[in-house]
Amino acid sequence: MSGSAMSAATTNPGGATAPPLNLPAPGARERRRLSPAFGLAAPGTLFVVLALMGPLALMFRYSLNRFVPGQMMVEALTLANYQKFFADSYYQEVLATTLWVSGLSTLLCLLAGFPVAYFLVRQASDKWKGRLLLLVILPLLMGNAVRTAAWMVILGDKGLFNAFVSTLGLSPVKLMYTPTAVVIGLVSVLLPFMIVTLQSIIEGIDANLEAAASSLGASHLTTLWRVVLPLALPGILAGTMLCFILSMNAYATPVLIGGPSFQMMAPAVYQQVAKAMNWPFGAALAFVLMAVTLVLTTTANVLVQRRYRRWSE
Amino acid sequence: MGILAINRIYAALSALVLAFVLLPLVAIVWVSFFANRILSFPATGYTFSWYVRAWEQEAFRNGFITSVETALVAVAISLVLGVPASLALVRYRFPGRDAIQTVLLSPMVVPGIVGGAALFMAFIELEVLLDVEIAGTLPGLLIAHGLIALPWTVRLVTASLVGMSPSYEEAARSLGAGVLTTFFRVTLPIIKPGIVAAALFSFVVSFIDLEKSIFLVGPGRTTLQIALVSYLEWNLDSTVAAVATVQILIIGALLIASDRYARLARAF
Amino acid sequence: MSDVVLQSIVKRYDATTAVDNVSLNIRQGELVALLGPSGCGKTTTLRMVGGFIPVTEGRILVGGRDLTSLPPNKRNMGFGFQNYALFPHMSVGENVAFGLQMRKLPKADIARKVKTALDRVKLSHLADRLPKQLSGGQQQRVALARALVIEPDVLLLDEPLSNLDAQLRNEMKLEIRNIQQQLGITTIFVTHDQDEALSVADRVVLMRAGRIEQMGAPDDLFERPASHFVAEFMGVTNLLAGTLESVGRFRLKSGEVVAVPVAGLSGDLALALRPERVILDGTDEALLANTLSAEVEFATYRGLVIDYRVRLPSGVTLIARRPSPAVGGPAPLSPGRAVRVSWQPEAGTLVPV
């Protein structure tokens, strides 16, 4: 597997860690000198530790504090904030909404992303593959604010979609501030991740395997199911995890397209920390969010790895 | 079903999906030229006046300037910290290398809102401790954005270092070049495309960040994304579309430029 | 089992024509080798027959049935891939069973047929292994068993031996030929190796730039090349350009006039002469008609034979091959030595340039 284009897909199917960097394996060339390496890596590592790890640890500590209205935070060592989360049906609903919206968005991304990835690898010429990939990535990087605004323009009550619908003589559809709109918005931002991940794993599957299956009598769908799918499983898992994690953490889309009555976890964290100033509970929400994501992705990872390991190593 | 038919189905599905992904982009650019006073379809005519109006909005103008400043500093931070770290990760083997790699990439993994909230709390804590203002200030924002850009820089630069055979460096060393000379005369020129791509890409991810910044902006110091979101909470008109179009053009140009230097797809 | 007919097959990609008007009738049970250098269109042709590449023009008939527009899974052909393309996530047995499962055979039948197929390639004891646990030769056998177990009408093999080392290649070559004859299955075998093609095929089709350059029995191509390209591809190292002076008299570009067999050709020609037929310091000159004096330029020792490059006074060089002393050949000649070069007129073949 050369080039790190593959890294996202192959070496570490998802989990809650970033795809690894595909560093060279230890070999004869390795240099065993410690000092320069540490010197080079230390500033960056220290920066992340101080600006991310430290604050996260602090926030975890805060999640064990007690919130007293008017006093903000009182030092304590209590699980009350976590208990509150699991006792409060409102927050359970927020979590449930987050989970099903993320699950659905991820599934749609998988269904819509696979044909594109397959097309890019198996059918598009190299020149077009590059261009189309760029075209896929561009919208991803136009920013959440801009993309969300665009979806508001399209999905609004008097938006592009309803204008189109009314030219057909149909009555307008209420889309804005519905879960449907949120899912649409999320899919559009997550699809590029899925496509790029799937693309790199399909690239690694020998096209002759599909030809072989086909010559042995398998239809295209059977070939996909029995040959491509099992071989692409790690990449599918990686892409699925990525999309799932990203949509679990989505902020702008649910806030702006979901509207005030639609609640997901990330906006709830912001709400508690910045608006309600209930830091202990906001912190607890953040850690519940991370923990749920971690548990789900790790479980999926273990399940798939178990099937995959037999022939992959 | 014949091969040609199958190919056509894939091509059609891909076109459909691509259209879906690109639809918002096209729609907002289109709307930015609408002459309609209140945003509605169809257009009653076309005009450039929303661009003028957007620039006249102080929130957008200042937000744009803050965003560019922040992004430039974020690029600088991420390069200064990220290039040496990538070099260490790729060219050396040392205990804890995997752990350091995980740490360096972790800002990508921790949800933006969670990281932002944590940083916000830490800043407030520091303010109380040190009696200085951080949370709503530019330095606070810069730290957050350095954090956003760093993992992407590490990703792209390690990718180009992995693709570069260490024999070039060994050749330079054997010809008598010192460590620093080797880096600046051999390594750096060879991985320059990766570094340029990393810089451009870091600029973009910092420029478009919303989730981390939202905790750290202060009165009078707002990034463009925050300005857009706060505007969107109350209005949706072609002013926003004009701002969005400008942003799309800038980011599009940066991405096409950086793709020329390194295949962007491998950053993901 | 069926005959295969290719009718004026054309494959065009945008500007380039990969296969240009190829027609071929393959009899039932015949093994035809598609031979040629890389890029000559042989693999493209094979993949079109297999159905993996759509045909631009022309028709493909098997047993009289037009398959041109059928997808691969409806063609009932066994395909052997250069890299074997064994499914890495399935065991050997599962790989072989795959095609039978596609045909929805009862489980018991599948098990029986898989066993027979693996027995035929002497691998039944490895049925539970994964492909990556097998050697290259074993993988090749599994690929063959997998292609044959579906009882295909036609067997298509794409460079099946190119990934094996020399000794294994010989062994597999015999085994493929053996199985093919036992089953009497119509087979197309793509290779770039003339030796492979000659030793395995009933008929060899030599392709060049998308077209058929010459086809015929192995000895036809080897002994009676129809063109400069064929002669060169078949390992004739001496190709001397010139023109016919009169019937049976050929004037080389360099001036020498030599006796050649009578041929109905004219214009710019080349005399193709195998190095084995060039005799150095021959004794029975009455038989040899063409005798020229020359000088040994250098000798290449090749184990069983020694190749001498000799230079005529006009500057033309020829290669002559003699058995080496290891197999009872004459003592080696040292460079610089004057020799007489001769050959029988009928040893040469005239080919158009």
pLDDT one-digit tens code per residue, A228-282: 998 888 888 888 888 888 888 888 889 888 888 888 988 898 988 888 888 888 8
pLDDT of residue C11: 93
Q: Name the nearest CA neighbour of C309 among C271, C337, C351, C289.
A: C337
Whether C68 contacts C51, CB under 8 Å:
no
- Show residues of chain A in contact with C83, CB under 8 Å: 206, 208
Percent of chain C residues topping a pLDDT of 90: 52
Is residue A206 scored above 60 in pLDDT?
Answer: yes
Percent of chain B residues topping a pLDDT of 90: 14
The answer to whether the Cβ–Cβ distance between C77 and A217 falls below 8 Å is no
Is residue A1 scored above 60 in pLDDT?
Answer: no
Q: Give the whole-angstrom CA distance, residue C320 versus residue C309.
A: 6
Q: Report if pTM > 0.95.
A: no
Which C-chain residues 29-58 have CB contacts (< 8 A) with chain B?
A: 51-54
- Out of A206, A218, A222, closest to residue C85 by CB: A206
pLDDT of residue B105: 87
Q: Give the residue extent of every domain in chain A.
A: 74-312
- Show residues of chain A in contact with C142, CB under 8 Å: none
- Show residues of chain B in contact with A26, CB under 8 Å: 93
Residues 6+ apart with CB under 8 A from B197: B156, B160, B258, B259, B261, B262, B264, B267
- Out of A22, A36, A137, closest to residue B255 by CB: A137
Mean predicted lDDT score pLDDT of chain C: 90
Identify whether B117 is part of a domain.
yes
Q: Confidence class of residue A309 from pLDDT cuts 50, 70 and 90? A: low
pLDDT of residue A228: 92
Please report which helix (H) or strand (E) contains residue A126, including its range: helix A126-140
Q: Give the whole-angstrom CA distance, residue C1 versus residue A302.
A: 49
Q: Confidence class of residue A186 from pLDDT cuts 50, 70 and 90? A: very high
Domain total in chain B: 1
Is residue A7 scored above 90 in pLDDT?
Answer: no
DSSP state of A68: E
Residues 6+ apart with CB under 8 A from C184: C1, C28, C29
pLDDT of residue B50: 78
Q: Does A1 touch chain B (CB under 8 A)?
A: no
pLDDT of residue C287: 62
The answer to whether the Cβ–Cβ distance between A214 and C85 falls below 8 Å is no
Percent of chain A residues topping a pLDDT of 70: 85
Q: A1, A205, A214, A215: which to substitute to probe chain C, counting the most C Cβ within 10 Å?
A: A215
**Pick the residue with more confidence: B239 or C40?**
C40
Q: C49, C84, C98, C105: which to substitute to probe chain A, counting the most A Cβ within 10 Å?
A: C98
Q: Does C70 touch chain B (CB under 8 A)?
A: yes
Is residue A9 scored above 70 in pLDDT?
Answer: no
pLDDT of residue B37: 73
Q: Which domain holds residue B156?
A: 60-267
Q: Please report the DSSP string for B8-46 in residue order.
A: HHHHHHHHHHHHHHHHHHHHHHHHTTB--SS--SS-S-B
pLDDT of residue A5: 33
Q: Does A230 touch chain B (CB under 8 A)?
A: no
Please report which helix (H) or strand (E) contains residue C259, including its range: strand C257-259
The answer to whether the Cβ–Cβ distance between C54 and B1 falls below 8 Å is no
As a dihedral over the C-alpha atoms of residue B9, residue B14, residue B17, residue B20, rounded to 10 degrees, the angle is: -110
- Out of C52, C54, C72, closest to residue B4 by CB: C54
Identify whether B5 is part of a domain.
no
pLDDT of residue B264: 60
Q: Give the whole-angstrom CA distance, residue A120 versus residue A115.
A: 8
Q: Please report the DSSP string for C75-119 in residue order.
A: T-EEEE-TT----TTS-HHHHHHHHHHHTT--HHHHHHHHHHHHH
Task: Compute the 3-state secondary structure of chain C and give helix, strand, coil in percent, each to the nearest 5.
Answer: 30, 35, 35
Q: Name the nearest CA neighbour of A258 among A119, A152, A113, A171.
A: A152
Q: C55, C56, C69: which to substitute to probe chain B, counting the most B Cβ within 10 Å?
A: C69
Is residue B61 scored above 60 in pLDDT?
Answer: yes
Is residue B113 scored above 70 in pLDDT?
Answer: yes
pLDDT tens per residue across span B117-167: 999 888 888 888 887 777 667 888 899 999 999 998 998 888 888 888 888
Identify whether B69 is part of a domain.
yes
- Show residues of chain A in contact with C97, CB under 8 Å: none
The answer to whether the Cβ–Cβ distance between A211 and C81 falls below 8 Å is yes
**Pick the residue with more confidence: B268 or A58?**
A58
Helix (H, G, I), strand (E, B) or coil at C228: helix
Is residue C35 scored above 90 in pLDDT?
Answer: yes
Residues of chain C with CATH 2.40.50.100: 236-352
- Show residues of chain C in contact with A219, CB under 8 Å: 71, 73
pLDDT of residue A14: 33
pLDDT tens per residue across span A86-119: 888 888 889 999 999 999 999 999 999 999 999 9
Is residue A72 scored above 90 in pLDDT?
Answer: no
Which chain A residue has the Cα nearest residue B88? A37
pLDDT of residue B1: 61
pLDDT tens per residue across span C169-207: 888 899 899 999 999 999 999 999 998 999 999 999 999
Distance of residue C196 Cα from the nearest chain A Cα, in angstroms: 23
Which chain C residue has the Cα nearest residue B5? C71
Q: What is the CATH number of domain C4-223?
A: 3.40.50.300
The answer to whether the Cβ–Cβ distance between A217 and C76 falls below 8 Å is yes
pLDDT of residue B196: 86
Residues of chain C with CATH 3.40.50.300: 4-223
- Show residues of chain B in contact with C54, CB under 8 Å: 2-4
**Pick the residue with more confidence: A17 or C311?**
C311
pLDDT of residue A302: 79
Q: At B220, which CATH number?
A: 1.10.3720.10
Q: Name the nearest CA neighbour of C32 among C51, C15, C52, C49.
A: C49
| Mean pLDDT in residue range C109-131 | 92
Structure tokens at C252: 């080389």
Q: Does C69 touch chain B (CB under 8 A)?
A: yes
Q: Chains that contact A by 3+ CB pairs under 8 Å?
A: B, C
Q: Name the nearest CA neighbour of A291 among A109, A101, A85.
A: A85
CB pairs < 8 Å spanning A and B: 343
Other CB atoms closer than 10 Å to residue C7's CB: what's the count?
17
- Show residues of chain B in contact with C72, CB under 8 Å: 3
pLDDT of residue A19: 59
Q: Does B42 touch chain C (CB under 8 A)?
A: no
Choices 2.40.50.100, 1.10.8.60, 3.40.50.2300, 2.102.10.10: CATH for C236-352: 2.40.50.100
For residue C103, count CB atoms less than 10 angstroms from its CB and return exposed for 0-12, middle for 13-18, buried for 19 or more: middle
Choices 3.30.70.20, 3.50.50.60, 1.10.3720.10, 1.25.40.340: CATH for A74-312: 1.10.3720.10
pLDDT of residue C296: 93
Is residue A187 scored above 90 in pLDDT?
Answer: yes
pLDDT tens per residue across span C246-289: 888 889 888 888 888 887 777 888 999 999 888 888 777 666 67
Q: Chains that contact B by 3+ CB pairs under 8 Å?
A: A, C
pLDDT of residue A65: 83
Q: Confidence class of residue A307 from pLDDT cuts 50, 70 and 90? A: low
pLDDT of residue C129: 92
pLDDT of residue C285: 64
Q: Give the whole-angstrom CA distance, residue A198 versus residue A14.
A: 13
